[in-house]
Amino acid sequence: MIGVRAACRATGRAQASHYRRHRQSPPPVRPVRERRAQPRALDEVERATVRALLNSPGFVDKAPATVYHELLDEGVYVASVSSMYRILRAYGEVGERRRQAVHPARVKPELVATKPNQCWSWDITKLHGPAKWSYFHLYVIIDIYSRYTVGWLIAGRESAALAEQLLADTIAKHGIDRDRLTVHADNGSSMASKPVAFLLADLGVTKSHSRPHTSNDNPFSESQFRTLKYRPEFPATFANLPDARAFCQRFFSWYNTEHRHSGVAWHTPHNVHYGHVDQVQAVRADVLSAAYTRNPERFVRKHPEPAALPVAAWINKPAEQDDPDEPAHSTKT
């Protein structure tokens, strides 16, 4: 048999031309080979016996390798471990073969507030203490419509009793009537505790919880904590509990009465919570009208107007509720 190079040299044909024409020709049709059964394979009866053994009450919760070695210890051999897996795989039983408890999916909370004291959100965050691994625990309740901090406390520990007392005092302070308020929180031990649940039930307050591991279900509290910890004066550590409490007093006073919040049309939470928005809006409108009168050419598109206050604040607004003409509801601070 002569090779391609020698044949091309003998015939005077370029080797590249030979390969080019050869590649253009269709490849030869390969005959379909029938797959033969492995003569050493288990027959159908043996396979059924192995499968029944693996799914028996004594072995259904054990891995095939465990079954194999237990049978060996009893002086029994039915099949190799790979054969056991192969048989289970053919029936889709390689994974967990026991009946599994199916927990229903947690319902996504969908909460709305169209005025203050309809829905509060609360959470607990840690503030670093003077020593490593030492913390102070800050409890904060915020109204999701006005962004007003309605109650807070700071303590050396996280406690369901402290959370219960804070909620009771805050609800009493604001004079909340029965069946008018929803309190939303995540699934922390204090938030989901029985004392807190019993208190809210006694006061006629609806409780709501975030889904597990879903921080977006509690955006208002998370956003406020970010504002707190990104303040320029926020210290890396607090020397003691009075030091942390004094800082929080200054922060929440500023947050409620001075901070212009983007989520409420750049009003302060205090003005929104206590109904002073109309007066502020009127002043802003007068200032913008005066500016327009002086220099109308600088306002190309339309007469300037102050930003409108959102009509509602949502936690997980349903898709069908989206309105392109409605102002965006932001939790930014």
The CATH number given to whatever domain includes residue 155 is 3.30.420.10
3-state helix, strand, coil in the chain (%, to 5): 40, 15, 45
Residues 134 and 84 in one domain: no
Residues 210 and 172 in one domain: yes
pLDDT given at position 332: 52
Query: Among residues 238, 259, 280, which one ends one of the domains?
Result: 259
What residues does 127 pair with on adjacent strands?
136
Residue 246 domain flag = yes
Residue 302 domain flag = no
Q: Which domain holds residue 70?
A: 44-90
Exposure of 49 by Cβ count < 10 A (0-12 exposed, 13-18 middle, 19+ buried)?
A: middle
The HSE-up count of residue 202 (CA atoms within 13 Å, CB side) is 11
Residue 273 domain flag = no
Residue 179 domain flag = yes
Residues 86 and 120 in one domain: no
Residues 199 and 147 in one domain: yes
Work out the number of other CB atoms within 10 angstroms of the CB of residue 113. Answer: 21
pLDDT given at position 170: 97
Percent of the chain with pLDDT over 90: 64
Work out the number of other CB atoms within 10 angstroms of the CB of residue 135. Answer: 17
First-residue to last-residue Cα distance in the chain: 84
Residues 132 and 81 in one domain: no
pLDDT given at position 23: 66
Residues 120 and 250 in one domain: yes
Residue 303 domain flag = no
Collapsed DSSP state (helix, strand, coil) of residue 319:
helix
Residue 305 domain flag = no
Residues 189 and 79 in one domain: no
Q: Of 70, 23, 31, 252, which Cα lies nearest the Cα of 148?
A: 252
Residues 150 and 189 in one domain: yes
CA distances from 321 to 56, 94, 317, 325 (A): 53, 44, 7, 12
pLDDT given at position 329: 46
Per-residue pLDDT reduced to its tens digit, 121-141? 999 999 999 999 999 999 999
Residues 83 and 128 in one domain: no
Residue 140 domain flag = yes
Per-residue pLDDT reduced to its tens digit, 39-58? 888 889 999 999 999 999 88
DSSP string computed for 89-123: HHTT-SS--S----PPPPPPP-EEESSTTSEEEEE
pLDDT given at position 98: 62
56 vs 45: CA distance, rounded Å: 16
Exposure of 293 by Cβ count < 10 A (0-12 exposed, 13-18 middle, 19+ buried)?
A: exposed
Residues 137 and 54 in one domain: no
Number of domains composing the chain: 2
Residues 61 and 130 in one domain: no
Residue 190 domain flag = yes
Positions in the chain whose pLDDT score sits under 50? 324-330
